[in-house]
Amino acid sequence: PDYFINFAANSFVGCSWDMAHNHMQTNCMAVLHQLEAIRRHHPKCRYYNAGSSEEFGDVIVAPQSEEHPLRPRSPYGASKCAARHLVKVYRDSYNLYAVQGWLFNHEGVRRGEEFVTRKITKHVARIFMQLQRRAEVTPLQLGNLDSKR
């Protein structure tokens, strides 16, 4: 291929504490295998790896830049940091076109229902359907709104 764009990841930070090995395999080792395949079979391929704001962890300044120190606070963040370093090592060592970008909060139709934005939007749709049927509207139940990472 001319381009390889890697968005694949285990991305739920909370699960990374119970499944650290799995997160490292998926988020880091897979990147190693991808880069190695590109190096061996198609070194002209342009590679992009999706990083995460979780790599920065406890931020010192905002907004962050590529020079901002990495201070991950979870196995997920650490796995994405390791992948970041692999991308740089392969770029520098093998002269590959390999880059990484950092994604911050984003939403989409495949966002898991364990995330608050999906809980809210799903409940809004439920309320709409209840109003259409003139049924009793059920209240939205959310967890700890003061939660922090």
**For residue 54, is pLDDT > 60?**
yes
**For residue 95, is pLDDT > 70?**
yes
pTM of the model: 0.74
Residues of each domain in the chain carrying CATH 3.40.50.720: 3-103
**For residue 148, is pLDDT > 70?**
no
Tokens coding 113: 């229902």
**What's the pLDDT band for 68 if we cut at 50, 70, 90?**
confident
**For residue 74, is pLDDT > 60?**
yes
Tell me what pLDDT residue 92 has: 98
Average of pLDDT values for 50-65?
87
Q: Are 34 and 6 in contact (CB under 8 A)?
A: yes
CA 2 to chain CA centroid, Å, is 24
Average pLDDT, the chain: 90
Q: Are 42 and 93 in contact (CB under 8 A)?
A: no
pLDDT digits (tens, 9 = 90+) for 31-43: 999 999 999 999 9
Higher-confidence position of 50 and 113: 50
Tell me what pLDDT residue 87 has: 98
Percent of the chain with pLDDT over 90: 57
Q: How far apart are CA 124 and CA 142, in angstroms?
A: 13
**For residue 118, is pLDDT > 70?**
yes
Tokens coding 47: 């590679």
Average of pLDDT values for 124-130?
91
The helix or strand, by DSSP H or E, that contains position 33, with its residue range, turns out to be: helix 30-41
Tell me what pLDDT residue 109 has: 74
Q: How far apart are CA 127 and CA 115, in angstroms?
A: 19
CATH superfamily of the 3-103 domain: NAD(P)-binding Rossmann-like Domain (3.40.50.720)
Residues known to be catalytic: 52, 54, 76
Neighbours of 80 (CB within 10 A): 30
Q: Are 31 and 86 in contact (CB under 8 A)?
A: yes
Q: How far apart are CA 127 and CA 132, in angstroms?
A: 9
Candidates 22, 24, 45; CA nearest to 35 is 45
Give one DSSP letter per residue of 63-78, joined into a string.
S--TTSPP---SHHHH
Candidates 25, 82, 29; CA nearest to 52 is 82
